[in-house]
Structure 1
Amino acid sequence: MPPAGTNAAEPPPPALLALANAVPNVFWSVLGLGPIGVYCYQWVTRPWLYGLLAASLLAYAVPAAWLGRWQLSRTPGPYRRLGVAAANRVMQHGDFVNRLTRRRYPRYRRVVARGAVAGLVRTTYQQERFHLALFLFFLAIGAYAAVHGQVGWAGLLALTNVGYNLYQMRLQQYIRVRLAAGAPRLGPQ
């Protein structure tokens, strides 16, 4: 039952949704970007840093059609087996945040109409490109660390790259697969 003064039929305020989703976003960003930030600040020469960063930003030029070709599967099963669905529980706009929001606003749904699906699909492609660019940057910096004999750093950067970027790219694909499977069940536009 919603707290007093809250109309369960009303949507949650955008500021509340932004705050609820900012908490896991900041947490995972600090955890994922912290090690590479420290390493780059302490060890990477600026010309290499800027050059590798600029090269990795070329991932934003990848068309959505190419991202679709790199998709792991057209069904959710392989993503679930890899733990992507489990990771979605603790991400922004994930199961945990949505469950907490629905406690106070039981009718809240992130996607309620077919028109919203198209917007969410565009967002997943943008986020996949972002994490692809970071994946390439982490990979390049990890190689830089390995070439300079810093195997511990290279290993840590590889681990954070898998957790922060590869899983996020797979999560965006998983969301699109789920949206494609559920699109006929969504309400009218």
Structure 2
Amino acid sequence: MNQFINFFWTILGFAAVLFYWVANGLSVWFYLFIGLSIIPAFLSQRFFYRIQLSHNTKIYERLGVRVIRKFVQHGDFANRIGRKNNPAYRGMLKSVDPQRYLGTIIMYERFHFICFIFFLLTSGIAIVQGHYLLALLIVISNVVYNVFPILLQQFNRIRVLRCSNQKSV
């Protein structure tokens, strides 16, 4: 179930971006944007701790993170199905030690940050070229596919750190 959810959101998230680049060709801009987008892959874990929106879970809850969590990989919906099919099933947070899970959170956050930059740059060039509707679709995709998951990972990091009584790096 988790892989199906991941596949669904990835196809939906990348559809407008993919359409733009297929329709307009892989120009020098594409390669420049890929190069700029992968910079977060080389940033330290501390960077991601520093860009944390808040250390208060209430802020994230007000932004709708609990709603988002229902529909993502290892989210409420997937965990409910997992428990229905296997009563011994435990969610991601319960099945992994906190330090390892913090590494997973950073990996997910880093991936979505890379995609966020690429989507942002792509929407910018779409606007410059007058593809306003497509740019709007890319921006919406960016929020749904990247901004919400980044917020979710930050929320999860707060919860894991609280549960394990650790301090952020």
The separation in 2 between residues aligned to 1:141 and 1:72, in whole angstroms, is 24
Q: Which runs of 5+ in 2 are unaligned?
A: none
Q: TM-score w.r.t. structure 2 length?
A: 0.91
Partner of 1:151: 132
Alignment partner, residue 144 of structure 2 = 163
Q: Which residue of 1 aligns with 2:110?
A: 129
CA distance in 1, matches of 2:52, 2:7: 27
**Residue 57 of structure 1: aligned partner:** 38
Aligned pairs for 1:7-18 within 5 A: none
Query: How far apart are the structure 1 equivalents of 2:66 and 2:45?
Result: 22
Count residues with an aligned counterpart.
164
Provide the secondary structure at the position in 2 that maps to 1:176.
helix
- What is the aligned partner in structure 2 of residue 116 from structure 1? 97
Q: Among the aligned pairs, what percent are the same residue? A: 32
Determine the structure 2 residue equivalent to 1:48. Answer: 29
Amino acid at match of 1:106: P
Q: CA deviation at 1:107?
A: 3.1
Alignment of 1:83-102 (within 5 A): 83-102=64-83
* Residue equivalent to 1:68: 49
Misfit runs of 4+, over 6 Å: none
One-letter amino acid of the counterpart of residue 149, structure 2? Q
**CA drift at 1:44:** 4.4
Read off the aligned partner of 1:67 and give its amino acid letter.
F
Q: Distance in 2 between matches of 1:172 and 1:59?
A: 16
The structure whose residues are more often helix, as a share, is 2
Structure 2 residue aligned with 1:7: none
Cα distance in structure 2, aligned partners of 1:116 and 1:86? 25
**CA RMSD for the aligned pairs?**
1.5
Inter-partner Cα distance in structure 2 for 1:35 and 1:104: 35
CA distance in 1, matches of 2:93, 2:150: 20
Higher alpha-carbon Rg? 1
For 1:102 and 1:45, how far apart are their aligned partners in 2?
Answer: 44
Three-state SS of the structure 1 residue aligned to 2:68 is helix
Which amino acid counterpart does residue 155 of structure 2 have in structure 1? Y
